[in-house]
Homo-oligomer: A and B are copies of this chain.
Amino acid sequence: MWPGTPLTRLLGIRYPILQAPMANGPSTPELAAAVSDAGALGSLGFGFLPPEAVREGILAIRRRTDRPFGVNLFVPQELPRADPAEALALLDPFREELGIERTTVGRPPAVTFEDAVAVVLEERPAVFSFTFGTLSGDVVSALKENAVTVLGTATTVSEGEELERLGVDAVVAQSSEAGGHRGTFAADLETAMIGGMALIPQLVDRLGVPVVVAGGIMDGRGIVAALVLGAAGVQLGTAFLACPESGAHPAHKRAVLEGGDQSTVVTRAFTGKPARGFRNRLVRELEGHADRLAPFPVQAFASADVREEAAKQGEPELMTMLAGQGVGLARSLPAGELVATLAAEAEETLRRLAS
């Protein structure tokens, strides 16, 4: 049922299932290791974290598993010179509600991408993936020469083609269903919100490298459907959010498990970059003043104190609450059990089809 495919051989895994590298909380070394141990590809997302954090994270996974895993970084963005005053003022009522004073806004970190990549080149995880843009060809070549498999993130056919020309080993296609930040880097947000049923076949028809699909996949039905559409594999984020090994806030996990009644939207409220999450009160109120939000990542820094204090107080309405459109199907199984369940469901789906 799970014969080796070019993708599983490339990644050194049994099932063509990847755990999404949900940066800034949900992805943990424990989650990545449990997923990899179960025969899928665990991963850890570092966002813009400094190189020492990347090394620590890689070593923490290695202490837990000797299976292949992935490491993900955000491609550095041009830092906007934006005055966060308006964004800060919008958040003052929430500060009052939470009982905190406005703090000095943190500054975007000095760009440490090259240093973080240097750590990846030294530590050589099996897989390196990136989102929010493209890399220099030199970085891609260096990674590949060091036996690191390179995956880039695309949200449109032309972004996928650009990544293939860059030399990536596989493309992660992020469809509009996906939770978290949009990886769009060469299209406007609106035309790049393409549902998987339309994106996957158009992308696989144009690319030579394997396509891994992310967005709305929560169970064996979604996995087989993606493979039917031509995907070589799938990447699941929201499906792993409520696992015990996930670092998501308990209130976030509860919301995910009650997700049937929740609606998700793509919003700039959390960080300034469009991201899919629950439309909690923070989102609803800030979306009403979308023109006053600061650009990414300034918005993230301007709102960090509110979101962090809300997390401390367990207030889901004011926390960062990212999730994809499949959230109504989320489960709280231990990650290894979830991987085994997904594989068994996919097998069962195929068996039913064949009969």
Contacts and interface: CB of A to CB of B under 8 A. Distances in A.
A229 interface: yes
A201 B228 contact: no
Copies in the complex: 2
A229 B197 CA distance: 11
A193 to B, nearest CB: 7
Nearest to A219: B201
B197 A216 contact: yes
A8 interface: no
A213 B291 CA distance: 36
Contacts of A228: 221, 224-225, 228, 349, 353
Contacts of A326: 197-198, 201-202
Contacts of A224: 228, 353
Nearest to A202: B328
A350 interface: yes
Interface stretch (A75-83, A258-266, A335-343): A258-266
A272 interface: no
A212 to B, nearest CB: 14
A353 B350 CA distance: 7
A351 to B, nearest CB: 9
A222 interface: yes
A286 interface: no
A329 interface: yes
A221 B216 contact: no
A20 to B, nearest CB: 14
A354 interface: yes
Contacts of A199: 325
A104 interface: no
Contact of A177 (B198, B222, B260, B265): B198
Given A221-B230, A228-B353, A354-B353, A215 B197 contact: yes
A124 interface: no
Given A221-B229, A229-B225, A230-B221, A177 B195 contact: yes
Interface in A182-217: 187, 190-191, 193-199, 201-202, 205, 215-217
Given A353-B350, A353-B353, A225 B197 contact: yes
Given A194-B177, A195-B325, A222 B216 contact: no
A252 to B, nearest CB: 19
Contacts of A191: 263-265, 279
A128 B346 CA distance: 36
Contacts of A157: 260, 328
Interface in A282-311: none
Among the interface residues A201, A205, A228, A264, which one has the most CB atoms of the partner chain B within 10 A?
Answer: A228
A226 interface: yes
A196 B229 CA distance: 12
Contacts of A219: 201
Contacts of A266: 190
Contacts of A226: 197, 225
A176 interface: yes
B229 A201 contact: no
Interface in A316-354: 324-326, 328-329, 349-350, 353-354
